[in-house]
Each structure stands twice: as C-alpha cells, then as structure tokens.
Structure 1
Amino acid sequence: MPYLINTNGKEEVSIYYEDYGSGQPVILIHGWPLSAKAWEGQVPQIVDAGFRCIAYDRRGFGRSSAPWNGYDYSSLAADLNEIITQLGLDQAIIVGFSMGGGEVVRYMTDYGTDKLAKAALISSIIPLVKKKDDNPNGVPQEDIDGIMEAVKTNRVGFLHDFNRNFYNYEDLKDRMSEQQLHYDWSIASNASPRATLKAAEAWADTDFRAELQNVTVPTLIVHGDADHIVPIETAGKQAAEGIANNRFEIINNAPHGLNVTHKDELNKILLEFLRK
C-alpha cells in the first residue's frame, strides 16, 4: 500500500493514498469523519474519463497515521502539498468534499496556485459553518457544542445518528441501502477519536471568508438544497458569491452526502467540469 511521509511538522505523519489512471491529475479530499473510501462512486468514472485519480486518507482517518496534534487547516493543507510535491504533480485539479473544501482553500492561501488548474468544492463547509451576527444562516453555537460533547462522550453512538442525517436517510431510502449506511458508519467509527474531535473543531471554528480571494483558478461549487449538515445558505451560496471564477450547481433534494445518494447527478456535473 502506498504511503507518503510528511516530516514538516512536530510529528512524522504517514499519509495513505491510492493512485489510478494517467493523464491530468485529480486529487480527491474526503469529508469528516470518513476516508478516501467515500469516493467509491467517483473514482472509476474519473479514471475511465482519462484522468489520473489520487484519493488519500486525511491524517487521523482511514489508513493514515494519527498524530496527537496537527488537525488545523494549515497542517492538513501541508499534507496535500506533500501529495502534490512528492508525486510531482502539475496542472492538478483538487476536489474537496465537505471538510475537504477547507484544504482546497487553505492550500491556495499557503502555497498558491502554480501547481493547480482547477478546483471543486462539493457539499463544502466553505466559507463558514458557525452562525455569527454576520453569518445568520450558519449552525448555532449550541448545536456545535452539542456535536463536540457527543464526540467526546458517545462518539460511536453520535456517529450512528449523524450518519443518517448526513444522507437524509429517512427521506432517501430509495437512493441508498441500509448496508451502505452501516458501511460508512463503520469507516467513521474506526477513525482516531482524537482526530475526529480536533478535525471537527477545525471545520467548526475556521472562517475562510477572507481567504476566498485566494481562490483564483476556475472552481466548481456543488451543493444540495436539502443539506441538513452544512446549510447551502451559509456554504455553497456564500462561496459562489466570494469566489470570482466559479460555476455553481445546486442539486435538488440532495443531502450532504450527495456523492452517494445523487452520485449520477454529481458525476455528470463533475466530469463536465473536469473535461472543460
């Protein structure tokens, strides 16, 4: 199994990745609290379309190592930079799902866009999750506090309920199976408890609004209008207003986990953007 080693921080970190196909590189960055396995519905289509597809596990998740610290976005973006640097990638397209949108934006803030051709934000947390006076549609602080407390005290039980809401499962049973739901829950449950908490703090507390000006490559934004995890008003719509060169696509009745429930719709939009 391929691993890259990031030695730039206080702790050495091993990043697991999978690398398929050839052609222009497309890097897939998964959401919280899953792993690169979340991209199962996209990887074959990207490779078959003639691209090189690289999917990796964020530190603390999946098969990557789990340092005690280093879950802030600059540390996570440094891991992405190691992927790009050590694999010698150029004209890369970086695709961030949910929390992964933060790595996309922070990478451009910290490392620029010389190695990039395009970017995509799928169900992304960008630019700000938390409700504030100037972000009235965000998630209330008491709800975020409840998530953090549940992760600390009843992580596996919390993930069971969170997972169902992630996919709006009760409303979309015709689009995904109970077995798929359990599979994703098992992936999330096997993540590092420490990483699950600290990464949640990162996506909950980081305000990317000032960094949107750093996103200067053509950018695809895809969001579901039934996303109960990251509301479209505080995420997709604000990202589209703040990123100069973007294509904004709304998938009707799609939940947060639209890469599973609405994979055909997403894949069509994503592949059109990759080819353009």
Structure 2
Amino acid sequence: MPFITNRNSKEEVDLFYEDYGEGQPVILIHGWPLSRKSWEQQVWKIVESGYRCISYDRRGFGTSSAAWTGYDYSTLTSDLNEIIIQLDLKNVVLVGFSMGGGEVVRYFTEYGSTRIDKAVLISSIIPLVKQKDDNPSGVPERDLDGIITALQNDRVGFLKDFSKGFYNFDELSKVSRISQAQLDYDFMIASFASPQATIEAAKAWMHTDFRDELKNVNVPTLIVHGKADQTVPIETSANQAAKGIKNATYIKIDNAPHGLNVTHPDELNKVLLNFLNS
C-alpha cells in the first residue's frame, strides 16, 4: 500500500494515499471526522474527466498512522506539503472539504503558490467557525466545548448521531438523497479514527482563525457551500471566504447540507469539473 512519510514534524507519520489517473493533479483533502473514503463520488468523476486524482488520509484518520501530536493546522499542512514534494507535483489543484479547507488556506500562507494552479473550498470551515464579537454568526464557544466534552466522555456515542446533522438526514432521507447505510458507513470510518486525533483535530477547526490568511490565496478559487448547511453556518464561512479571497467563484447549492459531496454529488461534480476545465 502506498504511504508517504513526513519526517519533518515533531512525530514522524506515515500518510496513506491513493493515486489514480493521469493529467493535472487534483488533491482531495477530507473533512472531520472521516477519511479519504468520503470522496467516493468525486474520485471516479475526476479520473474519468482526464485528471490525476490523489486523496489521502489525514494523520490519525483512515489508514494513516496516528501520532499523539501535530493536529494544529501548520503541522497538518506540512503533511500535505510532503505529499506534493515527494510526488513532485506541479500545477496542483487543492480541494478541501470542511476541515480540509484549513490545510488549503494554510498551504498558501506557509508554502506559497509556486506548485498550485487552483484551489477549491467545499463546505469549508474557512475562515472561522467560532463565534466572536466580530464574528457574531459563528458557533458559540459553549457549543464547541460541548462537542469536546461529548467526545471525551463517549466518543462513539457522539459520532453515532453526528452524521444526521451532517447530511440533514431527517429531511433528505425522505427524498432518497441519503440512506441509513451511508450513516452506518460513516460511523465505522469515524469510530475507527484515533480518539486523540479526533479530539485534537476538532480543536483545530473550532478555534483557528484564518481571516488574516485569506489574502494569501492568490490563485483562482472555487467556493461551494450548501444553503441548508446545519454544521458549518454559511454566514460565518463561505460568505466571508468569498469576500476575502480575491479571485473567487462562489456557488451555493439549494437545499444542500454540509455533506453535499454525498447527498448532491451530481450538482457538486458538475460545478467542480466546470471549474477544473476552465
């Protein structure tokens, strides 16, 4: 199985990745608390459209090794950079879903755009999840603290119900957009992840403020967000990101939840491929 080792972080980690197709490389960065497997409905479409598609498991998730430390965004982004450097990728399109948007933006801050052609933020947490005086639409800190407490006390119990809100299950299951089997699949993936990684990565996406870093994203950028996202409020994420990133195309998908890559794959894939081909 293919692994790339990052020896430049405090704890050495082995990152599992899948690499399919030929052409311009597209790197898919998954959300929390899942793995590369969440991109199932995008990988085949990207490859069949003539691109090289690389998806990887964040440290502590999926098949990658689980370090005890290194779940801050700078270290996570060093993992992404090792993939780009060791595979000698150029003209890359970075695609970040939810938490993965943080690695996308931090990459421009720390490594620049020499190897990057375009960027995509899907249901992204960028630029800030937490409610502050100057971010009133964010999630109250007491609610974020409640998630951490739940993960510490009964991680699998919390994860069992998490996907319902992730996919707006009660509503979209009635119109065959999402199945109970998908929720069960996500639970298996999420529960398999390192408990330490699950908690520490959550702290990263909860508390990291990327607002001052948006100006560093200096390539054409696609921002896609569901209008019905109950997990990452659109007002504190995509609406702000679209204003802060200079060369951004902003697409909102009607009735789409946070996990729109699963519930609305045709709509997302059409928008994504149009952007890749532009």
What TM-score, normalized to structure 1?
Answer: 0.99
The Cα shift of 1:21 comes to 0.2
Partners of 1:194 and 1:211 in 2: CA distance: 27
- 1:105-116 alignment runs, 5 A limit: 105-116=105-116
Alignment of 1:183-194 (within 5 A): 183-194=185-196
Partner of residue 18, structure 1: 18
Q: Which has a greater percent of helix? A: 2
Q: Which blocks of at least 5 consecutive residues in structure 2 are unaligned?
A: none
Shift of 1:181: 1.0
Give the percent of matched residue pairs that are identical in Structure 1 and Structure 2. Answer: 66
Matches within 5 A, 1:163-202: 163-173=163-173, 174-202=176-204
Aligned to 2:48: 48
* Correspondence 1:217 to 2:227: no
Deviations 1:135-174 (A, max 9, x none): 0100011110100000111110101111111000000001
Q: Please tell me whether residue 138 in structure 1 is matched to residue 138 in structure 2.
A: yes
Corresponding residue for residue 269 of structure 1: 271
- Cα deviation for residue 51 of structure 1 reads 0.2
Q: Which runs of 5+ in 1 are unaligned?
A: none
Aligned counterparts of 2:28 and 2:92: Cα–Cα separation in 1: 11
Q: Distance in 2 between matches of 1:238 and 1:9?
A: 31
CA offsets per residue over residues 214-262 of structure 1, 9 Å max, x none? 0000000000011111000000100001000000000011100000001
For residue 228 of structure 2, give the secondary structure of its aligned residue in structure 1.
Answer: coil
Matched residues in 1 for 2:23 and 2:70: separation?
A: 32
Output the CA distance in 2 between the equivalents of 1:177 and 1:137: 31
Letter paired with 1:257: G
* Aligned positions of 1:57-76 closer than 5 A: 57-76=57-76
* TM-score, length of structure 2 as denominator length: 0.99
Across the aligned residues of Structure 1 and Structure 2, the Cα RMSD in angstroms comes to 0.4
- Residue in structure 2 matched with residue 247 of structure 1 by the alignment: 249
CA distance in 2: counterparts of 1:218 and 1:248, whole angstroms: 11
Residue of structure 2 in register with 1:161 after alignment = 161
